[in-house]
Structure 1
Amino acid sequence: MLVFSGAAQAQTARQAGLSAAQLAVVINDDESNSVELGEYYRKARNIPAANMVHVHIPHRPHKLDAAQFEALKAQIDAKLGPEIQAVLMVWTAPYAVECNSLTSAYTLGLDSGLCVKTCAPSKPSTYFNAPTGKPYTDYQMRISMLLPTDSVEASKALIDRGVLAGFTTPTATAYFLNTSDAARSSRARFFPRSGGVASKKLTIKTLQADSIEDVNDIIVYETGLTHVPKLQTLKFAPGALADHLTSVGGDLLAEGGQMSSLRWLEAGATASYGTVSEPCNHWQKFPNSTVLLSQYLRGYSAIEAYWKSVAWPAQGVFIGEPLATPYRH
């Protein structure tokens, strides 16, 4: 069970975490939805005007090659000062660079060698379960996330959920499902035990089940299946994190095959994660549930908690509203 003493809470409150002044927002001027949502996000989160970066990516490709990526990264980095700890890219696509995700290639550097055998171990992240709140200052890496833009209305609602999460700590439940799909349940060994964290108004339910249905208090939902059933019956608290361990949930706009991680956001979650190429079922390539939950409960933002929870993130794309902090105060 997760335990938080008064001293630990005070210490972690001082450490956590990312602020609007430390986040850069990158807008694709070739996509009208990106432009509109970037401005909406700037106002919603009070992002300093100097932190807004404009780039041109025509035709919304799903994947960039190495040369295209390096040009984009150089263009973004040229606009960033040392105070910037994280980057939000306001678009759904591109979301991959070769076999890497765009977010991980940007944050860690492109690992082209992994594409020879994507099931091989990838480079470890020094930010995994990190004790501090300044990834660029302390680890020389700017963590990154995509804010999807396919629906302006849905993305504005997503932004609003993230903002709302900072105003009150919900009475909520974290659900961890060890499913009948044994291969996709490889991280179940890291599921926290069922119980409660009274100081956080949190209940933890670790279940042997393929789905949950008709629950309305979700703050975390992690499972392992190609498709997650009954999402339409669920209600997520503002700031909820949700993901499923499967091969290509991060291939966001792929047709058929497996459920896109976008479906979590459409169902009401505030942030999610998925891999863009075949990772096999190394648990290190997916969020470690105990780390994710404990970092979130310590008051770190959604982007920080998700990034801290993945040991080998090269293939994983992080999506959602990065500054959600239901447990900071």
Structure 2
Amino acid sequence: MTVLLSGAALAADSRIRAENVAVVVNVANKNSVEICQYYLKARRIPQNNLKEVNIQGSPARLSHEQFLLLRGKIYSKINQDIQVVVLMWTAPYAVECNSITSALTLGVDHKQCQQLCAAGKPSVYFDSPVGLPTDSGLRLSMLLPTDSLETAKALIDRGVLSGFRVNEGDAYFLTTTDKARSSRSMFFPPSIEIPQNKLHIHNVQADHIENKANVMFYQTGMASVPKLETIDFLPGALADHLTSSGGDLRGSSQMSILKWIEAGATASYGTVSEPCNHWQKFPNSSVLLKHYLTGATAVEAYWKSVAWPAQGLFVGEPLAAPYCHSCSLDAWKEPGK
């Protein structure tokens, strides 16, 4: 925890701004088109950063060949200043056994698909101190789901609001009775106060929490999380349940991470195929917390927290950054100033 506290004291704000974000819209999906324009306006992202693709039928998974065509359209003539790519749709969310976000950022890992439970390919970005993703040779990606116009707009609004002030908040890290899914709890921070971030960390043994307000972090190990409707999340909140199928957004075997977004979280993470019990395929809670509290955006903090991300889907509003001081100042500026 000493590392976390020292990192929180020595803030290193994100250098990613609206002009560094490319937005990909599926012109065959009316919700994608509407939410895309809402997002460009809300984040004041230049219209030139918009990339149009046509994905008929919005399948859950793409073949490698389909993905290569899509990737080519996204990256053709892309501005060299782009650090983050936002996919404005709910599906497709997978490329074979890979998540679409990892495939877009890292390329498709065919070896992982041959053995789902094998070790993944290490990410050079894991717990990285670099200031910009392209310094590591990467462009990060995140999926912003659009099945519900109301939910998508509320998600975007929360991301924008997160940049204006730091509210006093609580972080809950739950070790549950599900021992297999609680194996990642070894990376949970201890219960502690971090005054400079106005954050109260609670490391507790429980299957869920309920009737809690001002929640900024919620991580637990359960296949399904009850009582989410009683949780009041702060703008910019990160939440996930560290289990196998959360990223299978149209699956039914376990709770989808879309439930976190619907409940008021601003970003989440889940795997699209069976990862088995490798902690490296899930967010490392202490790493996630450290980078978010030192001013990283949601997309940076989540990507830096996963050591083997091939199967993991990153979902949410990528620019949310409640602890980035320069980001909040930037939010008040006129576009182009």
SS of the residue 1:317 aligns to: strand
State the one-letter code of the partner of 1:257: S
**What's 2:193 paired with?**
196
**What's 2:329 paired with?**
none
Tell me whether 1:120 sits opposite 2:122 in the alignment. no
**What's 1:177 paired with?**
174
State the one-letter code of the partner of 1:98: E
**What's 1:42 paired with?**
40
CA deviation after TM superposition for structure 1 residue 60, in Å? 0.5
**What's 2:101 paired with?**
103
For 1:320, which of 298, 316, 334 is the aligned residue?
Answer: 316
**What's 2:148 paired with?**
151
Structure 2: distance between partners of 1:232 and 1:6: 30
Structure 1: distance between partners of 2:217 and 2:66: 35
| Matched residues, number | 323
Aligned residues of 2:7 and 2:290 also touching (Cα < 8 A) = no
State the one-letter code of the partner of 1:90: M
Aligned residues of 2:61 and 2:92 also touching (Cα < 8 A) = yes
Aligned residues of 1:292 and 1:305 also touching (Cα < 8 A) = yes
Aligned residues of 1:53 and 1:79 also touching (Cα < 8 A) = no
For 2:302, which of 278, 299, 306 is the aligned residue?
Answer: 306
Deviations 1:53-103 (A, max 9, x none): 111000000000000001100110003121101100000000000000000
Deviations 1:39-66 (A, max 9, x none): 0000000001111111100000000000
CA deviation after TM superposition for structure 1 residue 139, in Å? 1.1
Tell me whether 1:3 sits opposite 2:38 in the alignment. no
Deviations 1:124-162 (A, max 9, x none): 1000011022112x1111110000000011100110000
**What's 1:245 paired with?**
242
**What's 2:282 paired with?**
286
**What's 1:87 paired with?**
85
**What's 1:161 paired with?**
158
Aligned residues of 2:216 and 2:237 also touching (Cα < 8 A) = yes
Q: How well do the aligned residues superpose, as a CA RMSD in angstroms?
A: 1.1
Q: Which runs of 5+ in 1 are unaligned?
A: none
Task: Please give the TM-score of this superposition, normalised by the length of structure 1.
Answer: 0.96
State the one-letter code of the partner of 2:305: S
Aligned residues of 2:247 and 2:256 also touching (Cα < 8 A) = yes
CA deviation after TM superposition for structure 1 residue 285, in Å? 0.3
SS of the residue 1:3 aligns to: helix
Structure 2: distance between partners of 1:287 and 1:118: 18
Structure 2: distance between partners of 1:125 and 1:244: 22
40-49 vs 112-121, which moves further: 112-121
SS of the residue 1:272 aligns to: strand
Tell me whether 1:266 sits opposite 2:268 in the alignment. no
Structure 1: distance between partners of 2:166 and 2:239: 18
Task: Please give the TM-score of this superposition, normalised by the length of structure 2.
Answer: 0.94
Structure 2: distance between partners of 1:180 and 1:319: 27
Cα gap change, 1:95/1:164 in structure 2, threshold over 3 Å: closer, same or farther? same
Tell me whether 1:74 sits opposite 2:72 in the alignment. yes
CA deviation after TM superposition for structure 1 residue 4, in Å? 3.6
